[in-house]
Amino acid sequence: MSTPLAPNSLAASALVLPDVECVPSRARFREAYTGIELYTGSGDARAAVDLSDNTNLWGAPPAAVEAMRAAIVAAPRYPTVYATELCEALATRFGVTSDMIVTGCGSDDVLDAAMRALAESGDTVAMPDPTFPMAATFARMNGLEPIRVPLTSDHQPDVDALLETRARITYIASPNNPTGLACPITSLARLAADVAGVLIVDAAYADYCPLYRESLARLIARSDRVLIVQTLSKAWGLAGLRIGYAAAPPALAREVAKARGPYKVSTLAERAATAALRHDAPWVAARAGEAIVNRERLVEELRARGLTPLRSDANFVLLPLADWPGGAAAFTAALRAHDVGVRPYSGLPGLGDAVRITIGPWPLIQRLLDACDAVLGAGCS
């Protein structure tokens, strides 16, 4: 039965599109975007043991889950414009004032907004290579030119070479993804003092390095050009809610908030994250502690098998596979046949092919080791 038209609304003839020929295509796209690939990540089909995305494999923190359930009733209304309550909870945790916090739909969103806010079209963004690949993508999405500076032979940012670029933005992920290594705090302090433009420190994994995290917070007090970006997607177990933030001097945070725009954090996400920050810090610290113990144990187990994993300061381990026949893709596919998922990298500068393995509860890591044993055994025969 068709819906009767209300007497005061438009006539049906003005509402229904008649069958007309398609107009000739005149769609034009941004030139800078032609070289940007659509991000696909590791795909949506997950392995039973999915160690591919560095999320918290122990689950979500309890107060956050409770707050999400209670927040359902707020779904019909808009969230707060700039996540006021969440900013206050983050400011308390970071030891800064809430005007020094900007939130976003994941730290991806905060990085994207920062690149838009803090540079003019055509400016450069210096970053170590390899690093989090989205940094270069966000630069290009915002009309900026990435300058990739190879890591040193000990897999650390080359501070002198980064400074020499005199880039408008310098981006450092620390601990870095995919190497897992934290950049020494003295190097970051030097960058903070000497970069020509703004320094973005992407500290997505700093919750696995508590002492380092506290030092990062102090870095903001020493320079008005430093932005520390963090996320609740990793140690805080809330990746599906998409909550990221940055701490920065107020003027910088305000510019990034302008570029980010309003209503980016949903009510559910804001309430869950605020509850987690107020009540779940001990849960998060305990799970992070367990991840560190399991990470060290995994590194030893891999070394015992003749492999050469990098040491790590994060919740994942990078395993170079330069000599594996077929490289990282073949190794990943072989593990996948045992229903274990890891993240492959092909031809990482200075490292070659490698796989990145997320740390989780030991039974999952044991499944990975069992799969590795089967794959290594088959590879050797």
Interacting residue with ligand PLP among 94, 132, 208, 236 (CB under 6 A): 132
Q: Does 208 bind ligand PLP (CB under 6 A)?
A: no
Shorter beta-carbon distance to ligand PLP: residue 280 or 324: 280
When asked if residue 54 is in the footprint of ligand PLP (CB under 6 A), the reply is yes
Nearest residue (CB) to ligand PLP, 277 versus 334 = 277
The token pair at 207 is: 């919750």
Among 106, 130, 157, 180, binds ligand PLP (CB under 6 A): 106
* From 149, 204, 318, 357, residue interacting with ligand PLP (rule: CB under 6 A): 204
Binding residue for ligand PLP, selected from 128, 146, 244, 360, defined by CB under 6 A? 244
Determine which residue in the list 112, 202, 280, 353 makes contact with ligand PLP, applying CB under 6 A.
Answer: 202
Work out whether 141 is an interface residue with ligand PLP (CB under 6 A).
no
* Token pair for 343: 């993240």
The 3 state secondary structure assigned to the chain is: CCCCCCCCCCCHHHCCCCCCCCCCCCCCCCHHHCCCCCCCCCCCCCCCEECCCCCCCCCCCHHHHHHHHHHHHHCCCCCCCCCHHHHHHHHHHHCCCHHHEEEEEHHHHHHHHHHHHHCCCCCEEEEEECCCCHHHHHHHHCCCEEEEEECCCCCCCCHHHHHHCCCCEEEEECCCCCCCCCCCHHHHHHHHHHCCCEEEEECCCHHHCHHHHHHHHHHHHHCCCEEEEEECCCCCCCHHHCEEEEECCHHHHHHHHHHHCCCCCCHHHHHHHHHHHHHCHHHHHHHHHHHHHHHHHHHHHHHHCCCCCCCCCCCEEEEECCCCCCHHHHHHHHHHCCCEECEEEEEECCCEEEEEEECCCHHHHHHHHHHHHHHHHHHHC
| Residues 220, 253 contacting (CB under 8 angstroms) | no
- 233 lines the binding site for ligand PLP (CB under 6 A): yes
Window of 106-114, 116-124, 220-228, 261-269 that interacts with ligand PLP by CB under 6 A: 106-114
Q: Minimum CB separation from ligand PLP for residue 181, in Å? A: 12
Q: Which is nearer to ligand PLP, 257 or 375 (CB)?
A: 257
Closest to ligand PLP by CB, 113 or 275: 113
Q: Which is nearer to ligand PLP, 202 or 280 (CB)?
A: 202
N-to-C CA span, the chain: 69
Binding test (CB under 6 A) with ligand PLP, winner from 50, 108, 255, 280 = 108
Beta-bridged to residue 340, according to DSSP, are 49
- Tell me: does residue 103 bind ligand PLP (CB under 6 A): no
Is position 239 an interface residue for ligand PLP (rule: CB under 6 A)? yes
Q: Among residues 90, 144, 162, 173, which is the contact residue for ligand PLP, using CB under 6 A? A: 173
Q: Which is nearer to ligand PLP, 108 or 280 (CB)?
A: 108
Q: Please state the φ and ψ torsions of residue 53, each to the nearest 5 degrees.
A: -125, 15
Query: Residues near 78 by Cβ (< 8 Å), separated by ≥ 6?
Result: 263, 267
Q: How many residues bind ligand PLP (CB under 6 A)?
A: 13
Of 139 and 372, CB closest to ligand PLP: 139
Q: Judged by CB under 6 A, which of 98, 107, 124, 137 binds ligand PLP?
A: 107
Tell me the window of 68-76, 85-93, 100-108, 207-215 that interacts with ligand PLP (CB under 6 A).
Answer: 100-108
Candidate segments 44-52, 102-110, 214-222, 372-380, binder of ligand PLP by CB under 6 A: 102-110
CB 232 to ligand PLP: min, Å = 7
Nearer to ligand PLP, 202 or 353 (CB): 202
Q: Rule CB under 6 A: which residues touch ligand PLP?
A: 54, 106-108, 132, 173, 177, 202, 204, 231, 233, 239, 244
